[in-house]
Structure 1
């Protein structure tokens, strides 16, 4: 489902990066490129977002130490 949001964002970002308009000048084109790269970065972050899985097994070894570190930080 999140790819349905990521793919159009990548296309819009690529369009903004590839587009150049003489009337807005060099600074306007650079700003448009920065916005395009930002949209692509947001699309990548949306596409790479991973869901946390609930583990129903007993925590041993490194899993237990990670959980202890999390509780210590809270």
Structure 2
């Protein structure tokens, strides 16, 4: 059972890191804006396609780690 406790702790750390990145950095704010309104974000100079691709790759990595 100690493995389950370590996994829950790691999941909690990932949750805290996720909140810190998405809500406290310029990168996270831009990323959330891409999900809300890509056309508006494009006018600010953020590359919408690159942001969407990087999010897809990162979530695929996390899903792969969860299944490993």
Question: Does TM, scored on the shorter chain, surpass 0.5?
Answer: no
Q: Does 1 or 2 have the higher relative contact order (CA < 8 Å, sep 6+)?
A: 1
TM-score bucket of the superposed structures, by smaller chain: 0.3 to 0.5
Bigger Cα Rg: 1
TM-score normalised over the length of structure 2: 0.36
TM-score normalised over the length of structure 1: 0.34
